[in-house]
Amino acid sequence: MFFYAARTLRKTPAFTLSAIALLAVSIGGTAVVFNVTDTLLLRRLALPRPGELVRMVELLPPRPPVSYFPYPYFEEWRAHTQSLSTTFAEADLDVSLEEAAGSRLVRAGIVSAGYFPGLGAAPALGRLLTPDDEWAASGVLPAVLSYWFWQERFHRDPAAIGAVLKLKGSPFVVAGVLRAASTAPPWKAVPPSACP
């Protein structure tokens, strides 16, 4: 039976190539849909208590939900909330990283001090952000590197702590590096004062 099918497919190469292409697209599409569904809907977040995580959104029909608020709104809400154990703000953006060979775009996160404790993240090296880092008025601001970025940019060199990175034209000193298995996103984290 196999040989008969193989001979038939060999006699009609256009049909055979079309069938193979259709199967490849179908299998690939199914794999992508499963991975997205698994990641977003089925798999639990790798957090100490994922059921306690809450995201604040603004609902104004007919627009889609929005979860980006001015930082002063967050500060006011954080000062008056009594129902949550910790609160944090986060946003991510692409910024230019200036290097000796030129500049390149990297993904950076602007986070408040409660971000890392709220997600149960811990440093592999150095320290995480503190409340004093949020609105440093002058000097070089601290940054926390993801393990991936530390590995790619500094080749896992512990001397990365204290190194200065120039992001968006402003200097940042590396204060810490997250653990490899950290639940935080794979970008650098800088305090809110880094955002205009």
* 40 or 168: which leads in pLDDT: 168
Q: Any idea which residue has 């500049």 for tokens?
A: 103
pLDDT at 33 over 80: no
Q: pLDDT tens, 58-88? A: 788 888 877 778 888 888 888 888 877 788 8
Q: Look up residue 129 and give its two tokens.
A: 């952000």
Residue with tokens 């299998």: 27
Rounded to 5°, angle at Cα 31 from 27 and 36: 150
Bridge-based pairing of strands 141-145 and 170-178 is parallel
What are the helix (H) ranges across the chain? 2-11, 13-37, 71-80, 115-119, 147-154
Higher pLDDT, 195 or 43: 43
Structure tokens at 161: 């702590």
Tens of pLDDT, residues 94-143: 888 888 888 888 888 888 888 888 888 889 999 998 888 876 655 778 89
Q: What is the 3-state secondary structure (H, E, C) of 98-151?
A: EECCEEEEEEEEEECCCHHHHHCCCEEEECCCCHHHCCCCCCCEEEEECHHHHH
CA 77 – CA 75 distance, rounded (Å): 5
CA–CA separation, 125 vs 141, rounded Å? 17
